C-alpha cells in the first residue's frame, strides 16, 4: 500500500475549480516533483494534501501507518515571518509540537531530536541567531530541520529554492536528495523542470492536461517535451 494515494481530486476555492481529476500516489522512499506553470494549482494541491483546504471532490488516503501529524511541510514563505523575533533554536524545536499533545513543555527527547536535525541541516552553528537575520538559504535549512522534527516519513516542500542563488540552490537540492536517500519520501513543488528530472523518480505535471508517471515516462510524454523545450529556451 502507498504512503499517500489521491484519487480523482478536484481542487479549488469555493466555486472556483483550479484543477480537475487529479490522481497519483506516493510510495515510501519516493521523490515526487510537482511541476506546472504559475497559478496552475500546485500550492493548492499541497495544502489540500495537508488538510488545510478541503478537496472539492475525490479522495485522499494515507497508508503504511502514516498519521496525519506525521507529515513535514516547508511552506512558501509568509509575510509575517519576515520580521518575527525567533531564534533558530525556537523555530526548529517548534517542529516537535505535534508530538507533544497536551503536554505543555518539550521533553529531553524532543530537544535531542531538534539538536540532531539542526546538525543534519548544518545550522547548529547559528542556533542562537535570529531567524530573520539569516540568508534565504540558511532560513530554508532551518525550516527543513523543523519539518524533520515533525516527521521522517514524508516531507512536502513548496518551492524550496525560490529566491536562492544558483550555488545555494544546488546545495539545497543535494540536501533534499540526501534526505530522500535516507528514506524520507519527498514531494517537492518546483519551477525548475531540469532539477525535477535530475532528482525525482516521479513527476506530476499540473496543467490543462494532467500528467503523472515516472520521470522517464515524463520525458517521452508530449507535456514533458513541450515544457522542456520552453524551459531550455529560457536558459539559453
Partner 1 sequence: MTEFFAYFQFPFVRYALIVGTLIALCSSLLGVTLVLRRFSFIGDGLSHVAFGAMAVAAIVGITNEMLLAMPVTIVCAVLLLKSGRNAKIKGDAAVAMISVGALAIGYLLMNVFPTSSNVSADVCTTLFGSMSILTLTNFEVWLCAGISVAVVVIYTIFYNKIFAVTFDESFSKATGVKSDAYNLVIAIVTAIVIVLAMKLVGSLLISALIIFPALSAMRVFKNFLSVTIASAVISVVCSITGILASILLKTPVGPTIVIADIVTFAGFFLAGMIKGAKRV
Nearest 5°: the CA angle 212, 216, 222 is 60
How many residues form the binding site for ligand ADP (CB under 6 A)?
11
Smallest distance, ligand ADP to C-beta of residue 189, A? 7
Q: Which of the 8 DSSP states describes residue 51?
A: T
State yes or no: residue 77 binds Mg ion (CB under 5 A).
no
Residue 12's CB: how many other CB atoms inside 10 A? 17
Q: Which does 180 bind (CB under 5 to 8 A by kind): Mg ion, ligand ADP, partner 1, none?
A: none
Strands of the sheet with 57-62, listed across from one edge: 16-26, 4-13, 57-62
Smallest distance, partner 1 to C-beta of residue 7, A? 21
Q: Which does 41 bind (CB under 5 to 8 A by kind): partner 1, Mg ion, ligand ADP, none?
A: ligand ADP
CA dist 120 to 31, 124, 179, 191, Å?
19, 9, 9, 26
Q: Which of the 8 DSSP states describes residue 77?
A: P
Which window, 41-49, 118-126, 131-139, 161-169, contacts ligand ADP (CB under 6 A)?
41-49
State yes or no: residue 162 binds Mg ion (CB under 5 A).
no
Residue 104 — φ and ψ, nearest 5°?
Answer: -80, -30
* 98 HSE (CA, 13 A, CB side): 15
Contact 33, 188 (CB under 8 A): yes
Q: Which does 104 bind (CB under 5 to 8 A by kind): partner 1, Mg ion, ligand ADP, none?
A: partner 1
Smallest distance, partner 1 to C-beta of residue 57, A? 21
State yes or no: residue 43 binds Mg ion (CB under 5 A).
yes
CA 76 – CA 16 distance, rounded (Å) = 22
Nearer to ligand ADP, 40 or 139 (CB): 40
Q: Which of the 8 DSSP states describes residue 235?
A: H
Which window, 34-42, 77-85, 94-102, 196-204, contacts ligand ADP (CB under 6 A)?
34-42
State yes or no: residue 48 binds ligand ADP (CB under 6 A).
no
Nearer to Mg ion, 43 or 124 (CB): 43
* Binding region for ligand ADP (CB under 6 A): 13, 16, 18, 36, 38-44
Amino acid at each position: 500500500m502507498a504512503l499517500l494515494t489521491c484519487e480523482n481530486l478536484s481542487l479549488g476555492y469555493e466555486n472556483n475549480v483550479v484543477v480537475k481529476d487529479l490522481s497519483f500516489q506516493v510510495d515510501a522512499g519516493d521523490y515526487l516533483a510537482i511541476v506546472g506553470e504559475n497559478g496552475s494549482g500546485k500550492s493548492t494541491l499541497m495544502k489540500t494534501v495537508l488538510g488545510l483546504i478541503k478537496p472539492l471532490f475525490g479522495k485522499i488516503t494515507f497508508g503504511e501507518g502514516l498519521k496525519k501529524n506525521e507529515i513535514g511541510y516547508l511552506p512558501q514563505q509568509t509575510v509575517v515571518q519576515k520580521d518575527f523575533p525567533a531564534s533558530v533554536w525556537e523555530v526548529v524545536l517548534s517542529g516537535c509540537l505535534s508530538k507533544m499533545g497536551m503536554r505543555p513543555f518539550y521533553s529531553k527527547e524532543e530537544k535531542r531530536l531538534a539538536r540532531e536535525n539542526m546538525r543534519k541541516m548544518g545550522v547548529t552553528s547559528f542556533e542562537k541567531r535570529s531567524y530573520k537575520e539569516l540568508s534565504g538559504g540558511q532560513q530554508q535549512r532551518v525550516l527543513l530541520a523543523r519539518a524533520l522534527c515533525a516527521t521522517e516519513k514524508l516531507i512536502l516542500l513548496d518551492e524550496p529554492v525560490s529566491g536562492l542563488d544558483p550555488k545555494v540552490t544546488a546545495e539545497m537540492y543535494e540536501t533534499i536528495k540526501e534526505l530522500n536517500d535516507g528514506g524520507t519520501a519527498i514531494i517537492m513543488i518546483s519551477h525548475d523542470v531540469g532539477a525535477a528530472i535530475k532528482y525525482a523518480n516521479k513527476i506530476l505535471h499540473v496543467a490543462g492536461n494532467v500528467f503523472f508517471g515516472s520521470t522517464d515516462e515524463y520525458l517521452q510524454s508530449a507535456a514533458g517535451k513541450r515544457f522542456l523545450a520552453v524551459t531550455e529556451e529560457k536558459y539559453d
